[in-house]
Amino acid sequence: MYRTHNNGSLRAADVNKEVTLAGWVQKSRDKGFIIWVDLRDRYGMTQLVFDQERTDAALMEEARKLGREFVIQVTGTVVERDSKNPNIATGDIELLVSKLEILNASLTPPFTIEDETDGGEDLRMKYRYLDIRRKPVRESLIFRHRVALEVRKYLSEQDFIEVETPYLIKSTPEGARDFVVPSRMNEGQFYALPQSPQTFKQLLMVGGMDKYFQIVKCFRDEDLRADRQPEFTQIDCEMAFVEQEDILNIFEGLTRHLLKEVNGVEIEKFPRMLYDDAMRLYGNDKPDIRFGMKFGELNEVAQHKDFGVFNNAELVVGIAVPGGNSYTRKEIDKIIEWVKRPQVGALGMVYSRCNDDGSFKSSVDKFYDQEDLAKWAEVAGAQKGDLVCILSGETNKVRAQMSALRMEFAERLGLRKPDEFAPLWVIDFPLLELDEETGHYHAMHHPFTSPKPGQIGLLDTKPGEVKANAYDLVLNGNEIGGGSIRIHDKETQAIMLRHLGFSEEEAKAQFGFLMDAFEYGAPPHGGLAFGLDRLVAILGGQETIRDFIAFPKNNSGRDVMIDAPAPLDNEQLQELNLKLNN
């Protein structure tokens, strides 16, 4: 037995016990006549003591050889500490060591294994196995385990069955590029890694499983950013004989359960918002409703004067920044420069100060009088002491720009508090999205999403107006889950695929297996998938997902620790019947 106790378990009640511990050396302090060593494992820290009055000379010399991250085993007697440490659970005791064995020496780590490390992100990702030893990363991974455990517990209690689906599947168009895998035994043919188990969970409903879930890896070959990984994890769920309301109720329950069990927070209200309202009031389909600053559309009160910037705009929209009148001209100029950055793309910003005496001071005073500015303030919902910020231009672009500005102000004003949780359902999404470059429509969610009842006929006449029987669950400005009621009959699925540009032959080649299954008594069904990485990060009070993933990729999709992806040697390429162009 390498240890009788872990390094977080010993207390004052254990004084005089002989115990054996094992772990990593956090650090040592050599005072000549006495040596203290902090011994760490996943469970905590125990202070070891080597005292020349009570420890033989040979053991003292062995203790002096210990370096950071050495793996050691020690046996000794638990004694009460003279100087107690209230900051650690074992702070009332220390271990007087009588036996020491070095199990494995360590090189000097490339960064300090402490909560506040001196290692940059790239370095820590290269040595991720060392980074995991740090408490913040370790605790994040343990936190993820707790969330996954509670997910399985809740869904199992709701009669869901966990079923695994294949990773080597057929490539199907689902919005992003597939990762493909060559088949050695089937020359010139390829598997794809699943972007989601979408078709398989629908087939499980045809198979009568009724309630399915899976915590599953998914893969998308798309451009990355800080909160996106090429492989990610979903809580994937599907139910038969359900309508939208049934699904919303079940997964409100799951979210409520997680917030209560993991965070100790009870939330009863899950408001619902139409997609069109989310875009009009917040400029995006995943609004953060922990704070205000709703959009006020100013066309009617701003396009009646000789100000061409507004008059020529498709949309003029403003927000009221609480307390923003306190900003100096220099600070406002910096905000204007911020919205003009390429990442935001605005050409400029108009503003109006709401003074404490009820008057207004605007950057376009020569075009607008006090009565005009008062109407701006009213539409934007501004109070005395606020600042009204206004952008104008093409509707979709301006909404996206103002959404970015709203979130920037929220960050500056400290309104995005990680310990506050504001869930929201966004419903009634468009079924189709127009690609302005090609002029073709594509599915906003995926090709298997059902249109709202009674709207399928509009596909021929007004495809852009058809609403999807789809819904997203938003938490603190992040989409944490999304799903839909599915198409469950072959005829409707064929109509949908035709409107997405598939010929009958292409539809059969890509989805013939699913459409054939619909002819054998497919039940009405629908589901939802949570992004586990994102959900765990939000519940953990973080904005990025990397620390909640054991071995993440960087922004280029590389694993810098194992140096992947990597080239194949010629022998492997020949086995797979592959030839490189370069």
Are 43 and 10 within 8 A, CB to CB? no
Q: Kindly list the distances between the CA atom of residue 307 and the CA atoms of 121, 344, 418, in Å, as whole numbers in the listed order.
A: 49, 23, 41
Are 138 and 113 within 8 A, CB to CB? no
According to DSSP, residue 68 is labeled T
Are 191 and 168 within 8 A, CB to CB? yes
Beta bridge partners of 104: 71
Q: Kindly list the distances between the CA atom of residue 457 and the CA atoms of 452, 491, 507, 515, 525, in Å, as whole numbers in the listed order.
A: 11, 13, 20, 20, 21
Are 214 and 198 within 8 A, CB to CB? no
> What secondary structure, in 3-state letters, does 509-528 show?
HHHHHHHHHHHHCCCCEEEE
φ and ψ at residue 152, rounded to 5 degrees: -60, -40
Count the Cβ atoms, other than its own, within 10 Å of residue 404: 20
Count the Cβ atoms, other than its own, within 10 Å of residue 269: 8
List the structure tokens of 164.
Answer: 């695994």
222 is in an annotated binding site: yes
Instruction: Quickly list DSSP for 193-223.
Output: --S--HHHHHHHHHTT--EEEEEEEEE-B--
Angle between helix 244-263 and 135-157 (nearest 10) = 140
473 is in an annotated binding site: no
State the Cα torsion 541-542-548-551 to the nearest 10°.
-170
According to DSSP, residue 408 is labeled H
Burial of 17 (0-12, 13-18, 19+ CB in 10 A): middle
229 is in an annotated binding site: yes
66 is in an annotated binding site: no
List the structure tokens of 428.
Answer: 């009634």
401 is in an annotated binding site: no
533 is in an annotated binding site: yes
- End-to-end CA distance of the chain, in Å? 56
Instruction: Quickly list DSSP for 457-501.
Output: THHHH-GGGPBBSEEEEEETTEEEEEEEEBP-SHHHHHHHHHHTT
174 is in an annotated binding site: yes
Among residues 65, 85, 74, 89, the alpha carbon closest in space to that of 13 is found at 89
445 is in an annotated binding site: yes
Contacts of 485 (CB under 8 A, 6+ apart): 242, 243, 244, 247, 449, 450, 469, 470, 524, 525, 526
List the structure tokens of 567.
Answer: 């080239």
How far is it, in rounded angstroms, from Cα 91 to Cα 393? 62
Residues forming the annotated binding site? 174, 220-222, 229, 445, 479, 486, 531-534
Annotated binding site for ATP, which residues?
220-222, 229, 479, 531-534
- Which residues are annotated as part of the binding site for L-aspartate? 174, 220, 445, 486
